[in-house]
Structure 1
């Protein structure tokens, strides 16, 4: 699940191209062979849990090196998944004979090189201590001459462009929608966004992540964006301790509006750029009437690789919950569908790359899809699912955003599952692949026990999310096993012309 946090070690793109070529050629030849059908899997919850645990143990093992795009870990991950899916009985879904199974995605890795920040109050320059500020650009170079600053607190999405254009938006980082706020401020025309991070340890961790670079789609040309991190000590020097405290307190009020500051700044940030080749994996289970539309199941395969250098002996972020668990659920669903009577509609299975860096793999899929997007009658994303125990409720991430809710809720009730807090679940809607599909009018949901268990999810987010602690010895598969059966019912419903008669154009 994405959180707007960049990732770790720079990728040596060229070092793996020959190895990748060999793997893809072997996979293409192997994919022409008859599929090996596996024995029918069990549908008891205990059997499903064991099956999920086995897949997660492989995908989240140290041998897969944290599944970072463009690395040996990617090659091992996609080879394992492609072999698993073909053995199940799926076929390539790229609809591109030149690239069976693996759809190429070209990325750029943007790594910070240097920055300079100068602050002024009138003609007087304000000096900050070393480490108080960090600046980053999403392009090769960003330069901002003396621009005025405005304090926006926790506001972003509801602000007018006129309040932000040409200004440095100074925001608070200490709230759950921090990444969404920063994105909204940049989209609405802020010259730069500066996030005040009050916790010194968190600032150090964020700066560590940002120093390792971020990905973007290679073909995008949306201009360089400039943002940064500022310590609370730095904010108090710039604004005065009493004024900063007063502004932070005022920002908690419902009537808060942006406050212009008597500060201007000159920012410059420079980055290095290199190309990284990565891949989506796309498979298909053919239906009896493929022209009647498609059901899409997806889960992202990527994580952060070796992400904890210098922070102890365990340096690999294995991503067992996020998102080896989603991949395992995807494969468990595929096994059962492949052994059942043929459905009316095609079912596509998509394992996306670079979700953690801004939903990039699914954005590439949507820009160059192997099937018309308007033919997708339902898209079900599976992410961060190994959190909740058995017997818990189910929530819909994306509730109220598609016409699918009523059908999904009926199936949840039919399986005697309880509805969860959809409003809480929707806090995560922008941080998962379904969001990118919604932007292309694809009806996309995430139906999950994990996001219905607020206590368990928030404990995971606090203690293990995007850390080396997200390993296969700390997963909860009870709810995930129940969700396998729920997704089987959902797919059968939406892939049936009798049960779901809305036909794709």
Structure 2
């Protein structure tokens, strides 16, 4: 992927946005924006409309839509043009269409080295094959000399679950080596830990982001998470797809992140443990016991030496607003993310652009379509904000930036509805619920589905932790009730082929095209199911848009307490 300087990016973004109002915008983008947004006065979601938008955003011209890359200015300009054509108001900062998201973009030099020394033997770990690491620090050099490695098990500190993997070990200046997912993920029914972390349903303790955060809190110099396909929820091809590259928010609070962080291939981890006289599979089992505590791997030291290329990038969230009539301050939010993975190594067909057609150009198209049908319909009492985030693929950074500095107060934000990857295999008898048991928006979803003669099915892959892997989570962490539709959360019960066909669609997409060059637009897509899913949000938003009801988190949700605090703020502001 090309690195872009801040000056170059700023100039191209200015040119791209100004192109919305003059003839210098590339003809294909201009024509597509006009043709897509302003036609078809239908008051229902249109599959051809969705396809047309994705075809543009996932085209070669947009170069994979990487934040700060050459495709960002075109993407932002296109989205603004769409919303303008619908007659929406700018919803961004200071009356504009965007919110600035300052990022730091780093890239490790491919000629760097990473070595493990155990006693008198050496192991060299290859970037992309044995490890997939990057740096989240704004540095020009990432060097580590003979740092001890500490196996921290699952790296969980959860007093409320009577669990602490760290005890009193000091991680300062050391390398933390984690297992992925929760301590009970692989537990047998008779093990003491079974069920303590939700069984197969991943908690936030199981996410790699939590593990990096915990490593940072404890002063670790580096953090490595041992990759396992099932426990991670995706294969090594996905984990290693952006090896060496990292985006982080330029303005953050909290401890300094580890100098190096990323994935460690299971085979490389096995060889490391063997070299120190330990069996990794046995250690995985021991890490599930109450008496496990972190320990240094005997005589193991890690050294690394990488030159870091660094750019400061001013990326953009794009926001549009449909103002309400009598309750304008109360906001419903619909969102997706515009970014994808830019360009990478050539595939077997020579393709380098990773176009992100389904992930998440299709979700973005869904947001635009919802904006169109809501604008065409009767005015609502409450306002709706349509947000298309940057840098989701880099750790939900665009939505996190908004959640930490919201344009519309979060205590007046009624709910967030997120579209991220919609299934393209046709209509289904059900819709898949991500994160069962979180909020009463689930009841709204069930009622909307019933109107379509469909039912709600809880995700059948809860161990993948999808509730923590999309932009709605940034809002949930601030107490806003959320609802996510994500096609890879479980095999839908397709009209044509049933659950088996739904499972096969997920296997084909995640196994072959997720974050890869083949996540491309296709005229073979059957978008009838995606249309039905987007219409569910349409129905719920219509209902809440003329309501005084505030959706609530369920008693068992960890976000309920936060929402109660923000409700007090809302009451005081009235």
Tell me the TM-score normalised to structure 2 length: 0.74
Aligned to 1:151: 151
Distance 1:154 1:400 in 2: 25
RMSD between superposed Cα atoms in Å: 3.5
Secondary structure in 2 matching 1:188: helix
Of the candidates 407, 415, 424, which is equivalent to residue 444 of structure 2?
Answer: 407
Cα deviation per residue 1:372-426 (whole Å; 9 max; x = unaligned)? 1111111101111134420231123243233422233222223322111246357
Distance 1:170 1:19 in 2: 41
Aligned to 1:18: 11
CA contact (8 A) 1:295 1:347 kept: yes
Of the candidates 355, 365, 385, which is equivalent to residue 422 of structure 2?
Answer: 385
CA contact (8 A) 1:320 1:475 kept: no
CA contact (8 A) 2:339 2:390 kept: yes
Aligned to 1:286: 323
Secondary structure in 2 matching 1:72: coil
Q: Decide whether aligned partners of structure 1 residues 392 and 249 sit closer, same or farther in structure 2, where only a CA change above 3 A counts.
A: farther
Aligned to 2:273: 239
Aligned to 1:3: none
Distance 2:168 2:346 in 1: 41
Of the candidates 84, 97, 104, which is equivalent to residue 101 of structure 1?
Answer: 97
Moved more, 290-299 or 228-237: 228-237
Q: How far has the Cα of 1:127 moved from its partner?
A: 0.6
1:126 aligns with 2:124: no
Distance 1:372 1:303 in 2: 28
Q: How far has the Cα of 1:297 moved from its partner?
A: 0.4
Q: Decide whether aligned partners of structure 1 residues 204 and 52 sit closer, same or farther in structure 2, where only a CA change above 3 A counts.
A: closer
1:395 aligns with 2:390: no
Distance 2:116 2:486 in 1: 47
Q: Decide whether aligned partners of structure 1 residues 135 and 59 sit closer, same or farther in structure 2, where only a CA change above 3 A counts.
A: closer
Structure 2 gap ranges (5+):
24-33, 159-163, 186-199, 230-234, 493-502, 553-566
Q: Decide whether aligned partners of structure 1 residues 396 and 204 sit closer, same or farther in structure 2, where only a CA change above 3 A counts.
A: closer
Distance 1:470 1:430 in 2: 22
Distance 2:19 2:320 in 1: 17
Secondary structure in 2 matching 1:53: helix
1:42 aligns with 2:42: yes
Aligned to 2:209: 183
Q: How far has the Cα of 1:324 moved from its partner?
A: 0.8
Q: Decide whether aligned partners of structure 1 residues 156 and 468 sit closer, same or farther in structure 2, where only a CA change above 3 A counts.
A: farther
1:460 aligns with 2:481: no
CA contact (8 A) 2:175 2:224 kept: yes
Secondary structure in 2 matching 1:296: strand
Secondary structure in 2 matching 1:194: strand
Q: Indicate the structure whose relative CO is greater, using CA pairs within 8 Å and at least 6 residues apart.
A: 1
Secondary structure in 1 matching 2:456: coil
Distance 2:250 2:339 in 1: 18
Distance 1:377 1:134 in 2: 39
Q: Decide whether aligned partners of structure 1 residues 441 and 477 sit closer, same or farther in structure 2, where only a CA change above 3 A counts.
A: same
Aligned to 1:439: 477
Distance 1:289 1:194 in 2: 52
Secondary structure in 2 matching 1:68: coil
Of the candidates 55, 77, 80, which is equivalent to residue 79 of structure 1?
Answer: 77
Q: How far has the Cα of 1:81 moved from its partner?
A: 1.6
Q: How far has the Cα of 1:214 moved from its partner?
A: 1.0
Distance 1:65 1:443 in 2: 34
Q: How far has the Cα of 1:295 moved from its partner?
A: 0.5
Of the candidates 350, 354, 357, which is equivalent to residue 320 of structure 1?
Answer: 357
Of the candidates 199, 215, 223, which is equivalent to residue 193 of structure 1?
Answer: 223
Distance 1:393 1:165 in 2: 49
Distance 1:183 1:168 in 2: 16
CA contact (8 A) 1:296 1:348 kept: yes
Distance 1:181 1:214 in 2: 17
1:469 aligns with 2:469: no
Aligned to 1:497: 547
CA contact (8 A) 1:136 1:269 kept: no
Q: How far has the Cα of 1:195 moved from its partner?
A: 3.8
Secondary structure in 2 matching 1:54: helix
1:227 aligns with 2:261: yes
Tell me the TM-score normalised to structure 1 length: 0.84
Structure 1 gap ranges (5+):
1-7
Secondary structure in 2 matching 1:492: helix
